[in-house]
Amino acid sequence: MGKKIVEDVIARSQILSPYDVGETIEGLASKIGRGIQEILKLNSNENFFVPLEFIRDVLRQVVEEADPRIYPRDEFRQLKEAIGGYCNVSPGNIVVGAGSDQLIDLVSRIFLKEGDEALSIEPTFVIYERCVRIQGADYRSVPLKEDFSLNVEAMLSSITPKTKVVFICSPNNPTANQIKSEDILKLSEDFEGIVAVDEAYADFAGATLVNRACELENLIVFRTFSKVFGLAGLRLGYAVMNGRLAKAIGDKFQMPYSATVTALKAAVKMLNKIEDVKRMIDALKAERSKLINALNGIRGVRAFPSETNFVLFQVNMDSSLVYRSLLNRGIIVREIGRVLKFNNCLRVTVAPSHIMERFVDELRGVVGGYA
């Protein structure tokens, strides 16, 4: 009996794709015979504008204050209060989890079962499909328009009685554009199910729906500390929604102690330093503009506008060849391939200027070398 259960799980896993994290720093350094300090990791949209020493100082304070022998309780309350102040929402509208991915999975488990379906956009973050298919539900996607905007009419016409959740990433990964708030709200008004909006990159853009999520019954907004606050390694995120739903999920569906005391305390301290963080955001935005201009100045390269901490760009040659050539030069980016009608696309994290200057020089060498 036990063997059959295992075989059933293995069979189910065949429909899932592993999440490709790309090359690691140490792995690439060993492969090409260079030091780890020579490797530029620019493939996962991490935030290098938050200085490492800045974060280490926060963590040193956390270590001095935290008692890891005790399960975190007050720390959850303190973080919800701090998030509430930051987002201008009530702590009662917030659910905290171990990264926004964990909360996306939680929402999928709550609202989807075998035979249901979820709808999303294309292209977008692959985790939505993964979470949906784990539940045995069907996943369908509707292409964005050629300008990367949301095709609201096509989304609404694709909804069936089986559709229970619509996932929207805004700003979207990998297209880097923010979806119009009015388009998302139109979905939430005309759709009876849950509209789940992933705002992982919203702090780098100009709009958010967190306040509307508190008012509407079926709108959930996911946020994370991985991007703007530079705490990707601590795995902490939160979701904002109406108070009744937040209480039900937090009290009945969320596992207790869903985040570590270290992550919770570090997040509070980062929110207390929000003015410093905002200056880092401004520096990132300035560098983002410089990077886009620099990329567009390379013959054979086209950079798309961005409202995130990454830039999507197209090359006039095989993107897999460019990707491998950059790896050989110690630079890890993300190969995306085809994005709607645009072939040979790649994605690069925006980093401080000395890093971007090396990246642009190396890319120019790769593209020029094959022109």
Q: Are 203 and 178 in contact (CB under 8 A)?
A: no
Task: Read off the pLDDT of residues 191-235 as tens digits, 9 standing for 90 and up.
Answer: 999 999 999 999 999 899 999 999 999 999 999 999 999 999 999
Q: How many CB atoms neighbour CB 34 within 10 A? A: 14
pLDDT per position as a tens digit, 323-370? 999 999 999 999 999 999 999 999 999 999 999 999 999 999 999 754
| Whole-number Å distance between alpha carbons of 350 and 308 | 9
pLDDT the model gives residue 2: 59
Q: Please report which confidence band the pLDDT of residue 16 belongs to, taking 50, 70 and 90 as the band edges.
A: confident
Q: Is the pLDDT of residue 371 over 80?
A: no
Which residues on adjacent β-strands are paired with residue 222? 198, 239
- Which one is predicted more confidently, 64 or 7? 64
Residue written as token pair 């980062």: 270
Q: Over range 25-48, report the average pLDDT.
A: 95
DSSP letter string over 264-307? HHHHHHHHHTHHHHHHHHHHHHHHHHHHHHHHHTSTTEEEPP-S
Mean pLDDT to the nearest integer, 125-129: 96
Question: Rounded to whole angstroms, how far apart are CA atoms 44 and 347?
Answer: 9
Pairing of strands 310-315, 342-349: antiparallel
* Beta strand 163-169 pairing with 194-198: parallel
Residues 6+ apart with CB under 8 A from 302: 295, 296, 313, 314, 315
Domains of the chain and CATH, by start: 2-50+275-369 (3.90.1150.10), 71-272 (3.40.640.10)
Structure-block tokens of residue 125: 């973050």
Tokens of 122: 């294309």
Q: Which residues, including other chains, have CB under 8 Å from residue 265's CB and lie 6 or more apart? A: 62, 65, 66, 75
Alpha helix segments (H runs only) across the chain: 2-13, 25-32, 52-65, 74-87, 100-111, 127-134, 152-158, 181-190, 210-215, 243-248, 261-272, 274-296, 319-328, 353-369
Both tokens of 293, joined, read 């201009």
Task: Tell me the mean pLDDT in the region 156-175.
Answer: 98
CA distance 183 to 185: 5
Radius of gyration of the chain (CA): 21
pTM score of the predicted model = 0.94
Q: What is the pLDDT of residue 78?
A: 98
- Can you give the pLDDT at residue 20? 78
Task: Give, as one character, the DSSP assignment of residue 38.
Answer: G
According to DSSP, the residues that pair with 117 across neighbouring strands are 138, 163
For residue 370, the model assigns a pLDDT of 43
Give the pLDDT band of residue 285 (cuts 50, 70, 90): very high
| Helix axes 319-328 and 25-32, enclosed angle (nearest 10) | 80
Summary mean pLDDT of the chain: 95
More confident call, 1 vs 298: 298
Instruction: Please state which of the ranges 8-17, 43-52, 118-127, 302-311 shows the lowest mean pLDDT.
Output: 8-17
